Amino acid sequence: MRSVAAALAVLEAVSEHQPAGATEVARAADLPKTTAHRMLHALADLGWIRPADDPPGHWVITSKASSIGARLLPGHELRAVALTVMRRLAARTGETIHFSVPDHRYVVLIDKVEGGNPVRTTATIGSRVPTHATSAGHAVLAAMPEDDCRALVFGAPLEALTEDTVTDPVRLMTALETVRAQGYAVSVRSRHVDVAAVGAAILDGDGAPIAALSISMPVQRFPEHLWAEYGELVRQGAGDCSAPRRR
Q: Which of 3, 2, 1, 15 is nearest to 39 (CA)?
A: 3
Whole-structure pTM over 0.85, yes or no?
Answer: no
Q: Rounded to an integer, what distance in angstroms lies between the CA atom of residue 28 and that of residue 40? A: 13
Q: Where are the domains of the chain?
A: 2-61, 67-241
Paired with 201 in beta bridges are 212
The DSSP secondary-structure symbol of 178 reads H
Mean pLDDT by 10 residues, the chain (247 residues): 77 82 87 89 86 82 62 60 93 95 87 84 81 97 94 93 95 97 96 95 91 95 95 96 81
Q: Are 152 and 141 in contact (CB under 8 A)?
A: yes
Q: What is the CATH number of domain 2-61?
A: 1.10.10.10
The reply to whether 67-241 shares the fold of 2-61 is no
Tell me the DSSP string of 44-61: HHTTSEEE-SSSTTEEEE
Q: Are 15 and 126 in contact (CB under 8 A)?
A: yes
**Domain 67-241 homologous superfamily, CATH:** GAF domain (3.30.450.40)
The DSSP secondary-structure symbol of 197 reads E
Paired with 202 in beta bridges are 211
